[in-house]
Amino acid sequence: MACSSPAAGSLAGKHAPLPLTPLEDRMRVLAALGSVDAVVAFEEDTPEALLRALRPDVWVKGGDYSADALPEAGVLRGWGGQTVVLPYLDGRSTTGLADRAARAAADARTAP
């Protein structure tokens, strides 16, 4: 399992301040999953170098991406690996959650 660190360029263009959960906490939760062998953070714009070193059979991304648009998809194909994009669950993004929380807090401050 690979996690983008706050320094990773992959977070560029996302609403600030992301990630909401500190890297160490995200890594601890992921490492506790029975299906996860290891968790590592990366700071580069893409995880291509990490993937070349680890050579996973499967690379999974959230559904707000297209496998063809991911630069790392070609890297995986080089050794027969595959990129899988999970279906996007509408209304479940961290950015959406943060936006809703901020609106609720603003509404609470202005309520009589």
Point out which residues pair with 2 in neighbouring strands: 40
Q: What is the mean pLDDT of residues 48-68?
A: 88
CA–CA distances in Å: residue 98 to residues 4, 16, 32, 69, 81? 18, 9, 25, 26, 34
Task: Specify the pLDDT at position 79.
Answer: 96
Residue 48's pLDDT band, with cuts at 50, 70 and 90, is: very high
Task: Specify the pLDDT at position 112.
Answer: 77
Q: What is the mean pLDDT of residues 82-93?
A: 85
User: Between 83 and 17, where is the model more confident?
Assistant: 83
Three-state DSSP class for residue 63: coil
Task: Specify the pLDDT at position 51.
Answer: 94
Residue 77's pLDDT band, with cuts at 50, 70 and 90, is: very high
